[in-house]
A = this chain, B = another copy of it.
């Protein structure tokens, strides 16, 4: 039976303040520091300058106390939040203006000092922390909203603004950010743009390549490139902004962005469904697209093992226990009566077809937040599982889930848990393989097999997380030799000394 209002959730679920999950997860992880990247991975330091007193004098003259050199203060900037990599930089710079960024980068270029640009440091592929002793250039102090235009819906802000804060600011103007992701309480918009972040509502609001109208970036030579257009249409020459969207800080440092923001929906509804098979999930997806049409804002799937991560480790209650598969279907619209009618009709259809076994739907904010927790806290919960091999894969929709049973077959009892969840509507699955301890033996059973499998279906070995430090050697599974060669030529053109985020992205 369909329980509208999800009353049973109300009492049982612990309501979490948004945006604290990363900090909590960080604290919850093993307390020991991860091994230094240089010792764990076969990587050699490039021919970059070692930091000297002269360099530090320049930085301190420019930034004053916004230069961090104390070892323990530098530590959080050296470690990614899933503790997979660790650098040993002894210099963190916190510019407040584009001009300061320009002066820093120009100086570093001249002296061949390597730079690691850093936003909220919420990346999952080791792209946001130094590999060796690269100077960390943190954008955290460049966090000003410069303009919000109510009529055009365009936001202009600095790169260091936190995603959730921007969403709150926009809310007062009847607008919202076009992207949303689990790390919203910590991640920076500049980092989102630099990594072409996807997230939960790409299905509805599109990707950042479509919604970033303009940006300002500092090139490797320190030059400030002003592409900060706020126009929806501007076909005057090559579209340079795209050199910086998704290139992970290796072609330039994004300092300001202009983003097209959609109207904040007047009505939001969320359905949580239990299903028996992935085949049924595909059928429900197709029906949702067809019947919910323009109000469908998110369509996520979670398998039972992923849900269990939240219920076992984080004590989040599951209102619909013991189904092998779950779906979250969210609607955004301008008229709640219309949206409820569409959603109820859709739910009745999929229930009466036997595609959905049980479900609950609600439009009360606290209850919706509770349901979202079952999806958004999976990454955090997995940290308690032990060592987790994490994969962020795009596959053709028909093959979306096929990797999970294939890996179960392949690994058998070597794995504690093999689970899959993700952005069904975008064909993007997060595959997680939890093991008791990392061993080379298990590692070799998983990789490169998982990439070969993905490549066979012309999938992406990194759907939304990027390449960072940990995946350059796998890029060829998704990109042709000619493409990688052209990327290298672009890197050489834009950053001939290779000072920007070295050891990342390209093999």
| Residues on A facing B (Cβ under 8 Å) | 149-153, 174, 195-196, 198, 202-203, 206-207, 209-211, 219, 223-227, 229-240, 242-243, 245-247, 251, 263, 265-266, 282, 285-286, 289-295, 332-335, 338, 341-342, 394, 396-398, 423, 426-428, 458-467, 471, 475, 478-480, 482-484, 486-487, 489-490, 493, 505-506
In this complex, what residue of B is CB-closest to A395?
A: B231
Tell me, rounded to whole Å, the shortest Cβ–Cβ distance linking A506 to chain B: 7
Tell me, rounded to whole Å, the shortest Cβ–Cβ distance linking A173 to chain B: 12
Q: A238-B251, A460-B229, A463-B233 are in contact. Are A263 and B293 (CB under 8 A)?
A: yes
Task: Pick from B211, B231, B397, B505: contact of A427, CB below 8 A.
Answer: B231
- A-B contacts, 16 of them at CB < 8 A, read A226-B483, A229-B458, A231-B427, A231-B459, A234-B394, A236-B461, A237-B479, A238-B487, A239-B245, A239-B247, A242-B245, A265-B294, A293-B333, A294-B333, A338-B342, A489-B493
Whether the pair A239, B236 counts as a contact (CB closer than 8 A) is: no
Whether the pair A202, B240 counts as a contact (CB closer than 8 A) is: no
Give the number of copies in the complex.
Answer: 2
Whether the pair B483, A232 counts as a contact (CB closer than 8 A) is: no
Whether the pair A232, B210 counts as a contact (CB closer than 8 A) is: no
- Complex interface: chain B residues within 8 A of A463 (CB): 231, 233-235
Tell me, rounded to whole Å, the shortest Cβ–Cβ distance linking A492 to chain B: 9
- Complex interface: chain B residues within 8 A of A341 (CB): 335, 338
Whether the pair B394, A232 counts as a contact (CB closer than 8 A) is: yes
- Complex interface: chain B residues within 8 A of A475 (CB): 236-237
- Complex interface: chain B residues within 8 A of A245 (CB): 239, 242
Task: Pick from B206, B233, B461: contact of A464, CB below 8 A.
Answer: B233
A465 to B233, CA, bound (A): 10
Q: A236-B461, A293-B265, A505-B237 are in contact. Are A151 and B398 (CB under 8 A)?
A: yes
- Complex interface: chain B residues within 8 A of A203 (CB): 232
Tell me, rounded to whole Å, the shortest Cβ–Cβ distance linking A350 to chain B: 16
Q: A225-B483, A290-B174, A332-B294 are in contact. Are A202 and B234 (CB under 8 A)?
A: no
Task: Pick from B152, B246, B483, B486: contact of A235, CB below 8 A.
Answer: B246
Task: Pick from B206, B247, B285, B291: contact of A151, CB below 8 A.
Answer: B285
- Complex interface: chain B residues within 8 A of A225 (CB): 480, 482-483, 486
Whether the pair A238, B232 counts as a contact (CB closer than 8 A) is: no
Whether the pair A334, B294 counts as a contact (CB closer than 8 A) is: yes
Whether the pair B293, A239 counts as a contact (CB closer than 8 A) is: no
- Complex interface: chain B residues within 8 A of A465 (CB): 235
Tell me, rounded to whole Å, the shortest Cβ–Cβ distance linking A195 to chain B: 7
A243 to B341, CA, bound (A): 44
- Complex interface: chain B residues within 8 A of A291 (CB): 334
Task: Pick from B152, B238, B295, B335: contact of A396, CB below 8 A.
Answer: B152
Tell me, rounded to whole Å, the shortest Cβ–Cβ distance linking A353 to chain B: 17
- Complex interface: chain B residues within 8 A of A233 (CB): 198, 202, 207, 394, 423, 426-428, 460, 463-464
Whether the pair B493, A490 counts as a contact (CB closer than 8 A) is: yes
